[in-house]
């Protein structure tokens, strides 16, 4: 699978949107779509749980 196919899939499914299409700004920047925001939040939560909450020697703030 090429990077072009991955980008095309992510755009079609609403994970990311080129910000130039939304705001009329420079190309090459991306904004998260609704599914992209949810995916990012799930990954952050999983990492936080794994590396902070499961350890007794780390205190979260």
3-class SS of residue 32: strand
> Quick check: is 32 in a domain?
yes
- Structural domain harbouring 40: 3-53
Assigned domain for 20 exists: yes
CA angle 42–43–49, rounded 5-degree value: 90
Number of independent structural domains in the chain: 1
6-53 pLDDT tens trace: 888 988 998 988 777 666 666 677 888 899 999 999 999 999 999 988
Does the structure show a pLDDT above 80 at 4? yes
CA distance 35 to 13: 8
Query: Within a domain: residue 47?
Result: yes
The verdict on residue 59 lying in a domain is no
Who's near 27: CB < 8 A, 6+ residues apart?
Answer: 18, 20
pLDDT value at position 27?
67
The secondary structure element, H or E, covering residue 6 is: helix 3-13
Nearest to 14 by CA among 44, 39, 42: 39
> 61 in a domain, yes or no?
no
Q: Is residue 58 part of a domain?
A: no
Q: Taking 80 as the threshold, does the pLDDT of residue 5 lie above it?
A: yes
More confident residue, 4 or 42: 42
Residue 8 lies in a domain: yes
Instruction: Say if 41 falls within a structural domain.
Output: yes
């Amino acid at each position: 699978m090429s990077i072009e196919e991955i980008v095309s899939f992510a755009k079609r499914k609403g994970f990311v949107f080129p910000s130039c299409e939304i705001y009329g700004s420079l190309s090459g920047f991306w904004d998260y779509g609704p599914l992209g925001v949810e995916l990012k939040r799930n990954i952050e939560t999983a990492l936080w749980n794994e590396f902070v909450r499961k350890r007794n020697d780390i205190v979260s703030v």
